[in-house]
Chains A and B, each alone.
Chain A
Amino acid sequence: MTKKLPRAATDIASAIAKGELSAREVTDRALDSIENSDKEIGAFTNVTRERARAEAEAIDKLRENGASLPPLAGVPYAVKNLFDIEGIKTLAGSKINQDLPPANEDAVVVQRMKQAGAILLGGLNMGEFAYDFTGENAHYGPSRNPLDKERMTGGSSGGPAAAVAAGFVPLSLGSDTNGSIRVPAAFCGLYGLKPTYGRLPRNGTFPFCDSLDHVGPFATNPVDLATTYDALQGPYEEDPTCAQRPLEPTLPELTKGVEGLRIAVAGGYFRRDADQGALTAVDLAAKHLGATEDVDIPDVEKARAAAFLITNAEGSTFHLDSIRLQIDDFDPDTRDRFLAGATLPASWYISAQRFRRQFAETMRKVFQNCDVLIAPATPCSAPKIGQKMMTLEGNQVPLRAHIGIFTQPISFVGLPVAAAPVWVDDPMPYGVQIIAPPWREDLCLRVAHALAGKMVKV
C-alpha cells in the first residue's frame, strides 16, 4: 500500500529534504489525485503536468547534488486562474479572456513560489472576473465544497479553497478584493491570509479593482500559511501599489503566543446579521484568546457601502470595452452588475474614496486601544450551490449581497486579516477574521497559530 503523503506543506518539504520522499513522487501522486477526483470538485481549469514534473525533477536534482533546499522545495500548489502562468491563457474565470494570448511569463508571486521551491500544478476555477462570493461560474461550472459537494466553496477564490480542502495541494494562491480569500477559507475550513493592501506585488495578475485588490495564500495550518506568505514578500518596483517594504518574516514570530496582546471582539455591526453559528464561532475564539472587550466600530455600514461603489465603478470601467463589444459572453451573474457599475456618477466614486481615507483614520484610532480584532468571516456557513436567498434574523435576504458583509469593510482600508476555521454545532465550518493594524501580518498569524487546534466546540 502506498504511504499517505503528509497533509502539511512544511511536512512535505521536510520529508523531501530528508530523502523520505522525492519531489517527483509527491508531484505524481498529486497529479493522479487531481486526475481521479477533480471531476467531482471542479477546482482546476488547467493542470500543468509537464511543468510540474520538470520543476519536481529540478528539486530532486538539487537534493542529489547536496544543495540546501528552499523552504517549500517540492511542495505542490496551484493558483487562481487570474495569476499569469507562462504559456497559459489567464482566464480570470471568464469566457472573454479565452481570446487573449497565453501569458509570456509568470506572475511575480508565482516566480517567488518557484524560487521557494514550490511545484506549480495548474490554474484554478474562480468566479468570473473575481466579482463573486459564491465560487459559482456559468462557463466552467461551480467549484464544489469538498466538505459537502452540494455546497458552495465561496468565492471568488473558489478553486484555490477547493483544491486545498480536497487535499489535491497543501497550498494555493488566491486574490481578495472584498473577501475572496476569507470567505472561501471560512466555508471550506481553511486558513487564508489577506495581507495589508500593497504588501504583495500584483504584477501578472488580472485586475478586478485596483484600489482594493490583494493577493494571498490558502493553507491547512498557520505554519504553512506563514511560510508561504514569507516566501511571497518583498518589494517590487514595477508595481506602483507595492509598498516596497523590506521582508518582514512572520515565521519566527508565530510561536510567541498571545500573552500581552490586547485582543478585542468587533461588536455592533459585526454582531448583527450573523447566524448563531457565526456568533458562536467568534465567542469561541474570544474565549480561547481571553478577549473580553467588545469594540463598536463607527461607520462600518458606510465602509461597506463605499467599498461596494469603488468595486462596482472600477471593475466596470476596467471591462468597458468587453461590456460594449461582448456583453453576451459575460456570466449572467456578473453581466448586469457590470452594466450598472458603468453608469455610476463620478461623484459617488470620489466620495467613496474620500470616505476611505476617513475610515482608515477611524480604524487607526480603534487600534490605539487594541492590537488585534476578532470578527466573523461570514454571516453563515457554506450555502447550497444555486441558493439565492438566505435567512438572517428571521428575514429573507439576497445571498450574494450578504455573504461579504463582514469582510468588505475590513479590506476597504487594506488591513491585514487571517481567516481561521472554527467548528461549532454545524456540519460545516465557520471562519473568524483576525484583524491587525497595517503591516502587522505577524500579529494575525500569531493569533491564528495560538488558536490552531482549539477551534472546535466541545
Chain B
Amino acid sequence: MTDKDDTTAHIDAAAAILNLPITPERKENVAAFVNVARQMAARVEESGAGRTTEAAPVFRPREQS
C-alpha cells in the first residue's frame, strides 16, 4: 500500500468508528490535512520524548472546601 492508500484507509476507518461525515467530496481535502498531521507526528516521534517524559498536563485534584 502507498502512503496515500494508508491515509485513505485511516480516514475511512475513523469515519466509520467515530461517525464522522467525511463524504467523498471532502475526503481529498481531509486526507491532505491528515497527511500534514502525519508529517508533524513523525517529527515529534523523532524527539525521543519517550516513556520517561511525563506528558505536559498534570491533573491536580482540588481540595474539598
Interface residues in chain A, defined as those with a beta carbon under 8 Å from any beta carbon in chain B: 211, 240, 299, 301-302, 305-306, 308-309, 312, 320, 323-324, 327, 335-337, 339-345, 348, 350-358, 360, 401
> For chain A, what secondary structure do more than half of its interface residues adopt (helix, strand, loop), or is it mixed?
helix
* 30 interchain pairs, CB-CB under 8 A: A211-B57, A299-B47, A302-B44, A302-B47, A305-B41, A306-B44, A309-B40, A323-B21, A324-B21, A327-B21, A336-B29, A336-B32, A339-B33, A342-B20, A343-B14, A343-B15, A343-B18, A344-B37, A345-B41, A353-B56, A353-B57, A354-B50, A354-B56, A355-B47, A356-B55, A357-B49, A357-B53, A357-B54, A357-B55, A401-B36
* Residue of A337, A340, A351 ringed by the most chain B CB atoms within 10 A: A340
Q: A339-B26, A343-B14 are in contact. Are A357 and B56 (CB under 8 A)?
A: yes
Complex CA gap A355/B50 in Å reads 8
Asked whether B47 lies within 8 Å of A358 as measured between CB atoms, the reply is: yes
Q: Hey, which chain A residues are within 8 Å of B56, CB to CB? A: 211, 353-354, 356-357, 360
Asked whether A350 lies within 8 Å of B55 as measured between CB atoms, the reply is: yes
A344 to B35, CA, bound (A): 10
Complex: chain B residue closest to A355, CB-CB: B49
B19 adjacent to chain A (CB < 8 Å): yes
* Residues of chain B with a CB closer than 8 A to A308's CB: 36-37, 40
Q: Is the CB of B26 within 8 A of A336?
A: yes
For residue B14, give the distance in angstroms from its CB to the closest CB of chain A.
Answer: 4
Instruction: Note all chain B residues with C-beta closer than 8 A to A323.
Output: 20-21
A-B contact count (CB 8 A): 106
CB-CB < 8 A to A355: which residues of B?
Answer: 44, 47, 49, 53
Q: Which residues of A contact B40 (CB under 8 A)?
A: 305-306, 308-309, 348
- Smallest beta-carbon distance A424→chain B, Å: 31
In the assembled complex, which residues on chain A have CB atoms less than 8 Å from the CB atom of B53?
354-355, 357-358
Give the distance in Å from the alpha carbon of A354 to the alpha carbon of B15 in the complex.
27
Distance to closest chain B CB from A352 (angstroms): 5
Given A342-B18, A357-B55, the answer on whether A336 and B41 have CB atoms closer than 8 Å is: no
B30 touches A324 (CB 8 A): no
Q: Report yes or no: A240 in contact with B47, Cβ–Cβ below 8 A.
A: no
In the complex formed, the residue of B with least CB distance to A347 is B41
Query: Chain A contacts of B30 at CB under 8 A?
Result: 336, 339-340, 343
How many Å lie between the Cα of A341 and that of B11 in the bound state? 10
In Å, the complex CA distance between A342 and B39 comes to 17
Known contacts A305-B44, A354-B49: A240-B20 contact under CB 8 Å: no
Question: Does residue B46 face the partner (Cβ distance < 8 Å to A)?
Answer: yes
The residues of B that contact A309 with a CB separation of less than 8 Å are 37, 40-41, 44
**Known pairs A302-B46, A339-B22 / 18 extra A-B pairs, C-beta < 8 Å:** A211-B56, A302-B47, A305-B40, A308-B40, A309-B40, A324-B20, A335-B26, A336-B29, A336-B33, A340-B30, A342-B18, A343-B10, A343-B11, A348-B40, A352-B44, A356-B55, A357-B56, A358-B49
Taking a contact as CB atoms closer than 8 A, the residue among B34, B46, B50, B62 that contacts A240 in the complex is B62
A340→B43 contact, CB < 8 A: no
CA distance A324 to B18 in the complex (A): 9
A350 vs B57: C-alpha distance in the bound complex, in angstroms? 10
Q: Write the chain A residue with the least CB distance to B62.
A: A240
Which B residues are CB-close (under 8 A) to A348? 37, 40-41, 44
The answer on a CB contact under 8 Å between A343 and B41 is no
Q: Is the beta-carbon distance between B41 and A240 smaller than 8 angstroms?
A: no
Bound complex: CA A82 to CA B46 (Å): 36
Complexed CA–CA distance, A340 and B29 (Å): 9
Interface core residue of A354, A356, A357 (most chain B CB under 10 Å): A354
